[in-house]
Structure 1
Amino acid sequence: MDRIYSYGRSFFKTIKEGNELNWVIGNGIGGFSNSTITGGSSVLHHGYLVAALNPPVNRYLILTRTQEEIEISNRKYDLTSQSYINKSKNGHEYLERFTFDCIPEYRYRVEDVYIKKTISMDYGYNTVAICYEIENGIEESNFKITPVFNYRLAGEAIEKSKLKFNQEIKDNMLTLIPNENKNIKITLKTSEGDFYDRKLIPTNLATPNYLYEDNNYYQIENRTGFLGLDNHYTPYDINIKIKANENKRIYLICTIEDEISKTGFQIEEEYKKRTNDLVLRAGYNDNFANNLVKAADHFIVKRNSTGLKTILAGYPWFTDWGRDTMIAFEGLVLCTKRFDDAREILESFSRYVKGGLIPNLFPDTNTDPLYNTVDASLWYFQAVYKYLKYTEREEDYKFIENKIYDKLVEIFKAYSTRTEFSIGMDTDGLIFAGSGLDQVTWMDVRVGEIVVTPRHGKPVEINALWYNALCIMEELRIKLNKEDLKYRELSEKVKKAFNKKFWNNEKQCLYDVIDKKDDSIRPNQIWAVSLPFSILPKEKEKLVVSTVHKHLYSTYGLRSLSFMDENYKGKYIGELINRDLAYHMGTTWSFLIGPFITAYIKVNDFSETSIIRAKGMLSVFEDHLKDGCINGIAEIFDGDFSSTSRGCYTQAWGVAEVLRVFKEIYRK
């Protein structure tokens, strides 16, 4: 039995404490559902239905949440738990336990009435189901559900004046068409109950305000400099009479699809079964790994433009990024034995190769992808190589030969000459990249005219990846009997130049960038050790790992800059500009634990002592899976005392790299 995440009242003594813990589930097309463990919103992206209008992008908040109230005789109990300006609704006081196992489950008790509430998504559709199981007490009661609607971009607040809808009720269905987009039809179906128009609620106020859930306050957003308010639309209540000692099963379904063909409980059971089938396929038989397999699933989604799978970089705001996809590829789809998805992802990105470049990102709109990255294309070689190592089937080599190989040759030719963003090969065989305001490595923040981490020149990880790409192409061209483009000769030249120019004898590690010889101690050098084809001699690999361990290791990953550096920033908090200036200047990145553990056990020859240490480094992530975004791994943490989730609250390459090294050290 997998470990279920369970949270009793000690985790939400106050609404503020409850707002620190949240959950997310995906629908396989870029849409998702997420909220806090107390059921309210603490960030702008929270909502029970965030729909992808053009999968996996154009994500809009449709159903913010449902709010419940139970009336027993004349005693009313509001189960809503939400912060507002200068006040809060404290429905968490009736919440006895929150659990998460595939889906979120809330268990409330009011007097002698027990209420279970779950939220599930219909996989492959922009549809959410909210299910209730109620055990009534010895008195009759009235159960009221208030659906809270919206129509706005996920992550952007909205004014009440823009929340206008045409609406209609027919039988047990409410239909809303937002004035902002007449092509969208929001449908809410209830299994039973009567709709009550909230405009009819008696009031002494001159301007009734019952149509809006206004002045929502988002605790986490406020911590990061957001000062605005948010509003939602509540046109109707649903009233359900429950007899004494009666047991009720009720569901609501909200969708923007054309029809509703399932019950809410069918959607719930299908979602659970599909998730558990993925765990069985992966075959780990380990609680920690099984939960990572579940976490991995939410990032693997379908892209409309190709009809193929892609990988979302993270929730709640990232789309599919080329670099993130290729780094996360092994952990998400190979370690989980989702080989059909792996093929689709490789083919999907192959269709977008342009001038030898893999897209950096697909914007969250209908615009063309951006190509401002030097490393995504080089990580693509790694993804292809690892795919073949995991499958080792002739049919997979045929797939690579027919669909992918020519794209790899195109990338090689572009990089060995010159392509966009000042990317090209120097006479020493090393790759240079970037100029002006371009930020083309993963350390890519720019604030206006300020390039925070200017890595123009020859970055260390880019050239380690380049060497590995050449070695991979040599293996592939022999296996597939392709033209010899002198990959071996060039790889030897690159290796010689790399060792001569990147070694920093004073600090006993690698320069971060040459030719300007940036001697900042950064984590990028770890890939020179962790990648499959070794570019350094063994003794220098050990020194690199030792230096990185001392200066950068920080429990949940590696710092982006040594804590001893005068430019080091140990906190990632506050307004956007302050966070941007710290993003790659000391902030801890979770995904870097993967290459570090791989390098650590490699230089120690997989000794028993090194494996025990590596298992300890990995085991702390079991604690983190219970925190922040439940069963997710945060993008980043502070450099000082890495503890609180920062940035994107669950990140594809963080989950992927932890699962990958789990498989590596446990030899699963």
Structure 2
Amino acid sequence: MSYLKFDKTVMINLEESLTREVLRTNRLGAYHSSTVVDCNTRKYHGLLVMPVPALDDDNHVLLSSLDETVIQHEAEFNLGLHKYGENNFSPKGHKYIREYTCDTVPRTVYRVGGVIFSKEKVFSMFENRIMIKYTLEDAHSATTLRFRPFLAFRSVKELTYANGNLNQNYTVVPNGIKMCLYPGYPELFMQFSKKVNFVFDPKWYYGIEYSKEQERGYPYKEDLFVPGYFEVPIRKGETIVFSAGDSQVATTRLKTLYETEVSVRTPRTSFYNCLKNSAQQFYFRPKKQDAYLLAGYPWFKVRARDLFLAAPGCTLSIDDPVRFEKIMATALPALRAFMEDGALDPVIQEIEQPDVILWAIWAIQQYAKVVGIDKAKELYKDFIDEALEYIISQKHPGLKVMDSGLLFADGGRDKAITWMNSVVNGRPVVPRSGYIVEFNAAWYNALCFSREMNGEATNEKIDKLISAINISFPNTFVNGYNYLFDYVNGSFVDWSVRPNMIFAVALPYSPLSRMQMRSVLDIVTKELLTPKGIRSLSPKSEGYRPYCTGPQVERDLAYHQGTAWPWLLGAYLEAYLRVFGKSGAAFAERMLISMEEEMTNHCIGTISEIYDGNPPFTGRGAISFAMNVAAILRIEEMLKKYNAE
């Protein structure tokens, strides 16, 4: 039985099927995304969505969708589905769906009378190309397929409308055509593995609606251009492959190319395999010599903090240390360039944020656990030494080492400097400045890891800092209720119960006593734990907003004021296992079961960016988020080791 399977009852119920999305990506930053019934509900959805560097840094929707029609005895059965005004769906092709599975590749089976018809999709790993394999499983009469391509040629941030500037010209290529609707865009090649007849019949389809954009308070109606349609006869048992890409393909090789792509996919036959597959979808290589992790889909780019926090889980936890090394070989030179002269990297965003260096060291620490301290020293000791000296020498513009040994981060009231980075009217919603709790937990951990790397070679400067922080950290952050202040700035202390204190328990080295660790863990469990992640703010704290819905401003206000984050669940469970050891493994496994349920929700086979802080804990935000996937993979790996022992 398929792990990701939806039967007819789910597929024909649009309230169920339109909430489930699909994502397939390649290493170039391009992707295919839609719903399981192939009805686009976001402006980010499309069959072929790809970067167009000649225009900007955004992704662009070239081919929005492809409507298939089955023709028998001159009767037409259109399998497409689009939403129009007044909640009108047309042509309602979902009513023909018998089942949908998404193991190795997404597969939809249709039944139209005596016709059983399947389609499978694969997104090319190293080319900007979507391939769809159509198979006529059964038929009792002569059958013809008709395909109508819906073209957009616009940024994922925009919508397109009927206009006279569009170039309707097309050029015939082997078994298809190529088109380019507007200057600056690449040509779109639409080809089949079999000779087809293209009928030029240009039409605009007006007022197609995207419900997710409407929910989020954005413009949600657009017009799409259909240049005509392809027709091709198909025999019972025959397979035809369609390709849409920015380069011409040898049509005689399409079936082989399709099967080759399928053969290297990780079958999504278990929770772990789903996470592994999802982790690999974040790999980004715009140039062969580079390796990055995208922060999430469909709208995030490469972000420094996310990259270092996600790299161990997305590589080491799926037994790919070489990928980790490649990512670090790209990212660490960018960090060094920033440390040398403040240079900002053109690809890795937010590299100047004060805690980025600390998370880079933490990532190396995870690598050392996997490959051994000697290999880690060989590759990364010099960087760690340089990075700590850079901070200790007061060279980082956003950090200052105080006499107490703690790090003081100024400026957080005017701009967002932590992961809690939502902004309204140019000001951070959660202004955090001064002694920030997770900064100092990561700082202490980095210093101790450096001492571990040095072995018997003592570093007096680092030893003094560690000794000082052992005293100053609990004195500064532990309050009378035995949890940690979120940040301290002069006489001001933030009493809000937030999840950032969990890092003082979860990180390998902690300045807290075991009793203090237990107290922190207890309050996080009581006030912040949900089945889908750790709340960003306690319901008992002022300003709690559990639902991240509505227009942009409303969502920004709620983003870190109560929503639950799965990546924090990873830190929480790591802390739980640290405090309770093997006896905590059963609890951690139960928590992961609640995350496994998400494999069939929101974007199937992956984990959403955030979840509501209150029941039913609905997934929101980006449909696939790297830090979340990575954190759960790391906990899966830890539990395997506990069970093995």
Please report the TM-score for the alignment, with normalisation by the length of structure 1. 0.90
Equivalent position SS for 1:319: coil
Q: Is the 8 A contact 2:175 2:251 kept in 1?
A: no
Distance change >3 Å, CA 422–CA 491, structure 1 → 2: same
Q: Is the 8 A contact 2:191 2:251 kept in 1?
A: no
Q: Does 1:391 align with 2:371?
A: yes
- Structure 1 residue 226: deviation in Å? 2.0
Give the Cα–Cα distance (whole angstroms) in 1 for the partners of residues 486 and 531 of structure 2. Answer: 22
Give the Cα–Cα distance (whole angstroms) in 2 for the partners of residues 39 and 367 of structure 1. Answer: 32
What is the match of residue 295 of structure 1? 278
What is the match of residue 626 of structure 1? 600
Structure 1 residues 466-475 or 6-15, which shifts more?
6-15
Distance change >3 Å, CA 429–CA 350, structure 1 → 2: same
Distance change >3 Å, CA 307–CA 400, structure 1 → 2: same
- Structure 1 residue 251: deviation in Å? 1.1
Match of 1:344 among 305, 309, 326: 326
What CA deviation, in whole Å up to 9, does each residue of 1:498-524 have, x standing for no partner?
Answer: 01111011x220000012211100000
Match of 1:499 among 455, 458, 474: 474
Q: Which amino acid aligns with 1:595?
A: A
Equivalent position SS for 2:153: strand
Q: Which amino acid aligns with 1:77?
A: F
Q: Does 1:443 align with 2:420?
A: yes
Give the Cα–Cα distance (whole angstroms) in 2 for the partners of residues 367 and 231 of structure 1. Answer: 33
RMSD across aligned positions (CA):
2.5
Match of 2:587 among 603, 608, 613: 613
Give the Cα–Cα distance (whole angstroms) in 2 for the partners of residues 193 and 546 of structure 1. Answer: 67
Distance change >3 Å, CA 287–CA 179, structure 1 → 2: closer
Q: Which amino acid aligns with 1:472?
A: F
Equivalent position SS for 1:600: helix
Q: Which amino acid aligns with 1:501?
A: T
Give the Cα–Cα distance (whole angstroms) in 2 for the partners of residues 525 and 511 of structure 1. Answer: 8
Structure 1 residues 510-519 or 371-380, which shifts more?
371-380
Q: Does 1:4 align with 2:3?
A: yes
Equivalent position SS for 1:440: coil
What CA deviation, in whole Å up to 9, does each residue of 1:633-654 have, x standing for no partner?
Answer: 0110111114321001111111
What CA deviation, in whole Å up to 9, does each residue of 1:534-586 have, x standing for no partner?
Answer: 22000000000000001100110000000111210121100000000000011
Equivalent position SS for 2:285: strand
What is the match of residue 661 of structure 1? 635
Equivalent position SS for 1:535: coil
Give the Cα–Cα distance (whole angstroms) in 2 for the partners of residues 598 and 267 of structure 1. Answer: 42
What is the match of residue 334 of structure 1? 316
Q: Is the 8 A contact 1:320 1:361 kept in 2?
A: no
Give the Cα–Cα distance (whole angstroms) in 2 for the partners of residues 337 and 641 of structure 1. Answer: 35
What CA deviation, in whole Å up to 9, does each residue of 1:121-173 have, x standing for no partner?
Answer: 12111111111001352222221011222211224222232643542113413
Match of 1:168 among 148, 171, 179: 171
Q: Is the 8 A contact 2:445 2:509 kept in 1?
A: yes
Structure 1 residues 184-193 or 548-557, which shifts more?
184-193
- Structure 1 residue 360: deviation in Å? 12
Alignment of 1:63-462 (within 5 A): 63-86=63-86, 87-89=88-90, 90-161=92-163, 163-164=166-167, 166-181=169-184, 184-199=186-201, 210-242=202-234, 246-257=236-247, 259-260=249-250, 263-276=253-266, 287-304=270-287, 307-353=289-335, 354-356=337-339, 369-392=349-372, 394=374, 397-401=377-381, 405=382, 407-419=383-395, 422-435=398-411, 436-462=413-439
Give the Cα–Cα distance (whole angstroms) in 2 for the partners of residues 458 and 307 of structure 1. Answer: 39
What CA deviation, in whole Å up to 9, does each residue of 1:153-211 have, x standing for no partner?
Answer: 224222232643542113413111232315x1221111224333343xxxxxxxxxx52
Give the Cα–Cα distance (whole angstroms) in 1 for the partners of residues 217 and 397 of structure 2. Answer: 33
Give the Cα–Cα distance (whole angstroms) in 2 for the partners of residues 62 and 578 of structure 1. Answer: 31
Give the Cα–Cα distance (whole angstroms) in 2 for the partners of residues 61 and 177 of structure 1. Answer: 12
Gaps in structure 1 of 5+ consecutive residues: 200-209, 280-285
Give the Cα–Cα distance (whole angstroms) in 2 for the partners of residues 585 and 359 of structure 1. Answer: 32
What is the match of residue 463 of structure 2? 488
What is the match of residue 282 of structure 1? none
Identity between Structure 1 and Structure 2 (%) = 25
What CA deviation, in whole Å up to 9, does each residue of 1:75-101 have, x standing for no partner?
Answer: 211101221223212100001111101
Distance change >3 Å, CA 659–CA 197, structure 1 → 2: same
Equivalent position SS for 2:600: coil
Q: Which amino acid aligns with 1:247?
A: G
Give the Cα–Cα distance (whole angstroms) in 2 for the partners of residues 260 and 473 of structure 1. Answer: 54
What CA deviation, in whole Å up to 9, does each residue of 1:468-525 have, x standing for no partner?
Answer: 111111222338x6x93622221221221101111011x2200000122111000000
Distance change >3 Å, CA 420–CA 156, structure 1 → 2: farther
Give the Cα–Cα distance (whole angstroms) in 2 for the partners of residues 582 and 418 of structure 1. Answer: 35
Q: Which amino acid aligns with 1:385?
A: Q
Q: Which amino acid aligns with 2:369?
A: K
Equivalent position SS for 1:188: strand
- Structure 1 residue 312: deviation in Å? 0.8
Equivalent position SS for 1:44: coil
Give the Cα–Cα distance (whole angstroms) in 1 for the partners of residues 356 and 15 of structure 2. Answer: 40
Match of 1:473 among 450, 454, 469: 450
- Structure 1 residue 5: deviation in Å? 0.4
Equivalent position SS for 2:493: coil
Give the Cα–Cα distance (whole angstroms) in 2 for the partners of residues 385 and 165 of structure 1. Answer: 56
What is the match of residue 40 of structure 2? 41
Q: Does 1:463 align with 2:440?
A: yes
Distance change >3 Å, CA 643–CA 360, structure 1 → 2: farther
Give the Cα–Cα distance (whole angstroms) in 2 for the partners of residues 418 and 233 of structure 1. Answer: 57
Please report the TM-score for the alignment, with normalisation by the length of structure 2. 0.93
- Structure 1 residue 260: deviation in Å? 4.4
Q: Which amino acid aligns with 1:445?
A: S
What is the match of residue 22 of structure 1? 21
Give the Cα–Cα distance (whole angstroms) in 1 for the partners of residues 248 and 377 of structure 2. Answer: 41
Q: Is the 8 A contact 1:357 1:411 kept in 2?
A: no
Q: Does 1:599 align with 2:575?
A: yes
Q: Which amino acid aligns with 2:160?
A: I
What is the match of residue 508 of structure 1? 482
Q: Is the 8 A contact 2:405 2:468 kept in 1?
A: yes
Distance change >3 Å, CA 359–CA 618, structure 1 → 2: farther
Distance change >3 Å, CA 166–CA 459, structure 1 → 2: farther
- Structure 1 residue 419: deviation in Å? 4.5
Give the Cα–Cα distance (whole angstroms) in 2 for the partners of residues 308 and 236 of structure 1. Answer: 40
Give the Cα–Cα distance (whole angstroms) in 2 for the partners of residues 459 and 360 of structure 1. Answer: 25
Give the Cα–Cα distance (whole angstroms) in 1 for the partners of residues 531 and 342 of structure 2. Answer: 32
Give the Cα–Cα distance (whole angstroms) in 2 for the partners of residues 544 and 600 of structure 1. Answer: 10
Give the Cα–Cα distance (whole angstroms) in 1 for the partners of residues 585 and 342 of structure 2. Answer: 37
What is the match of residue 61 of structure 1? 61
Alignment of 1:551-562 (within 5 A): 551-562=527-538
Distance change >3 Å, CA 233–CA 361, structure 1 → 2: farther
Distance change >3 Å, CA 663–CA 370, structure 1 → 2: closer
Q: Which amino acid aligns with 2:183?
A: E
